[in-house]
Structure 1
Amino acid sequence: MPSLCIHVPNCMWTKALLDGRVKVDGFDATFEPAAFDPRGSSRLRGDVEDKFAATEQVIPDFLVRIARGSEKEFVALPIFVTRGMVHRKFVMRRESSTPKDLKGCTIGMGRVLGATSVYLRGLLADHFGVTRSAARWVTAEPLSSDGAIGGGEWAHTHRRGGIKASELIQRLSVGDLDAVIYPGGAGGHWFNWVVEGSASRTPDPYGDLEQMVASSSNLCFPVGDVESHLAWFQKEHIYPTYHFLGVRKSVAASHPGLTDALVDAFERAAVVAAAYMSDEERRLYEREKELLGLDPNECGLNAVHKKTIERCLDYLEADGLLPRRPTLGEIFPLSGS
């Protein structure tokens, strides 16, 4: 039987899978690291090459496809390969007031279904009263990037295009935008929020957000302080998950026991992840667990992950993007949810 090729991000939580230290018990599986390119972006949104038995998927896109009945190929596993607080992906100018003053203002974002966009729209509405209809939303990426919506534009989009995702911060700085929900993988991933301006960042194709804000004279993270993160977590009891591992339904059906073995392998890889961290990363990792009172990087449908997915569904419903609300059992049918 040929080896099962599994596509994953190259990060500390997957290092032990990529270098072979952790195996998938009972199955011949190989892991291929993801690279950021246009093909990688479409793969994350469901357009996956045949060679991959499993791959990471963006959670909001998948939830919308489930709700619309258009997801035929993949099933979700409770393996959350990309996650982190979102507060330091929200940027404003220093002379602006607070997020509650953004009613009637223009907010830029990469795309509608970006996980960070979904969580931060929920935060702005629920904690600052800036509802979806109260702001002018400018979306940088083309409509095809939000294809899971079904071909139409989001009802609250003020303008799409005319700006590149890589230009959002610059356009904010010169006053063309009033706030930005930063796209891509920087500002908030994993545990770097526990120290403001932390050097523990993930590479990002649009530039280093922390560095861009730190070097600017007029930009800031209005809710990026540690206290804001903790107050939000204590109220919401969620830890944003961006991507999960999806496995082909046909592969799961033809390989009994594979899905449980994958969850087990990722759990074991997370246990040894500290061995791949620098001293500073280990310090921040331990600090995050201390502040939250739990380890948010565990696999499985624990209470935090369940509530996080339910809140993501809440936000998508408030966005008007779900024709119906899927249950956790529909989303994770192989996980005993």
Structure 2
Amino acid sequence: MSKLQLSVAVGNYDRCRPLFDGDVRIDGVDPVFMQLSPEEIFFRAFRNAEFDICELSLSSSVVKTANGTLPYVGVPVFLSRMFRHSAFYVRKDRIKRPGDLRGKKVGLPEYQLTAMVWIRAFLEQDYGVAPEEITWVRGGISDADRPEKIALDLPPSIRLIDAPPGKTISALLAEGEIDGYIAPRAPDIRGGASENIGWLFDDPMAEAIAYYRRREIFPIMHILGVRRTIAEAHPWLPGAVFKAFAEAKNLCLERLLETSACKITMPFADERLHHDMALMGRDFWTYGIDGNRHVLDDFLAQHHRQGLSSRRVTIEELFHPATFEQFTI
């Protein structure tokens, strides 16, 4: 039987490197890998479903699942996980603490981005600032014409406005027209205009560690998707994809733990790795539903709370049933 030739679009992550190099293979698949930025993958996947297997925004996938329009079925491979306490920038000359954001304007590239959901969640849960207390200003980071990828139907209590024509949220922050900025990328500001701009939290790592100790949540940003029509024709495929990506991630961690030479271009990489394991456990970058159900449940509840999903989506309808359990010996 010939193998399925399928396109696979994911980011250039160390946890995928064994797949790119051929050290790990997807059973029954002859993959054509495309290493692309998340922005390009998501735009092409959610607009035109261009890829057979691809990285997907968790938030966009939930919006589409709630509406019954997601062309992919989820696989619980969490290619991107990130604490987002360092993704919040503010005018330091007027915002000193999270509570100062009440009644203020905060820019974001898209209201529905996964990072935005997590940030709004910890603002409300940990600092008492509700999404309804902020005016959200949507605009591009570097391109004023950046669109929202998918249509949203937000409740009237959420104040979301567009940036003025020709203005990016980076420029609005630099000019003081908005008070804060949240995005997966830093604001595009050069020169002296950044003088009064900095992180909301002076030590975002300390804030993130305290958040993890309170909630034991390592936020999930991206999942993996298999085109629904292909999964229906080949029901073995989502499980095979999960198996291969999990093996690749495990091999990546094994290689990081081998300390004869530094694998990444950072000093103190070994010390950082052991610190993270002491905080979060040896398999801190967990794939699968087991070990992540509480993270996913929290996100799905917050997603609906923030008006992004028309109903409370369940884990079972987001991910393919073949990926919930794996064999053991």
User: Which interval holds the TM-score relative to the shorter structure?
Assistant: 0.7 to 0.9
Match of 2:236 in 1: 257
Equivalent pair of 1:108/1:139 in contact (CA under 8 Å): yes
Kindly tell me: are residues 294 and 104 of structure 1, through their superposed partners in 2, closer, same or farther at Cα, counting changes over 3 Å? Answer: farther
Unmatched segments (≥5 aa) in structure 2: 257-262
Larger radius of gyration: 2
| Residues in 2 aligned to 1:163 and 1:310: alpha-carbon distance in whole angstroms | 38
Return the match for 1:75 from 73, 76, 84: 73
| Residues in 2 aligned to 1:164 and 1:231: alpha-carbon distance in whole angstroms | 39
| Residues in 1 aligned to 2:115 and 2:21: alpha-carbon distance in whole angstroms | 29
| Residues in 1 aligned to 2:131 and 2:166: alpha-carbon distance in whole angstroms | 22
Equivalent pair of 1:109/1:168 in contact (CA under 8 Å): yes
1:285 Cα deviation after fit: 3.3
Count of aligned pairs: 306
1:240 Cα deviation after fit: 1.3
Question: So what's the TM-score if we normalise by structure 2?
Answer: 0.82
Equivalent pair of 1:109/1:183 in contact (CA under 8 Å): no
Match of 2:164 in 1: 162
Q: What whole-Å deviation, never above 9, does each CA across 1:39-60 have from its counterpart, x for those lacking one?
A: 53412535321xx321111111
Kindly tell me: are residues 169 and 283 of structure 1, through their superposed partners in 2, closer, same or farther at Cα, counting changes over 3 Å? Answer: farther
Equivalent pair of 1:139/1:157 in contact (CA under 8 Å): no
1:88 partner letter: S
Kindly tell me: are residues 220 and 136 of structure 1, through their superposed partners in 2, closer, same or farther at Cα, counting changes over 3 Å? Answer: same
Which structure 2 residues correspond to residues 201-216 of structure 1 after superposition, within 5 A? Answer: 216=194
2:36 partner letter: A
Return the match for 1:323 from 305, 310, 313: 310
Match of 1:172 in 2: 173
Return the match for 1:4 from 3, 6, 23: 6
Equivalent pair of 1:18/1:32 in contact (CA under 8 Å): no
Question: So what's the TM-score if we normalise by structure 1?
Answer: 0.80
Kindly tell me: are residues 59 and 36 of structure 1, through their superposed partners in 2, closer, same or farther at Cα, counting changes over 3 Å? Answer: closer
Return the match for 1:314 from 284, 294, 301: 301
1:234 Cα deviation after fit: 1.7
Equivalent pair of 1:230/1:292 in contact (CA under 8 Å): no
Q: Does 1:247 align with 2:233?
A: no
Kindly tell me: are residues 237 and 36 of structure 1, through their superposed partners in 2, closer, same or farther at Cα, counting changes over 3 Å? Answer: closer
Identity %: 24
DSSP 3-state at the match of 1:220? strand
Cα RMSD over matched residues? 2.9
Which structure 2 residues correspond to residues 1-337 of structure 1 after superposition, within 5 A? Answer: 1=2, 2-35=4-37, 39-45=40-46, 47-49=48-50, 52-71=51-70, 73-95=71-93, 96-141=95-140, 145-149=148-152, 152=153, 155=156, 156-162=158-164, 167-184=168-185, 216-223=194-201, 224-274=203-253, 275=255, 277-278=263-264, 280=266, 281-303=269-291, 305-334=292-321, 335-336=323-324
1:284 Cα deviation after fit: 3.0
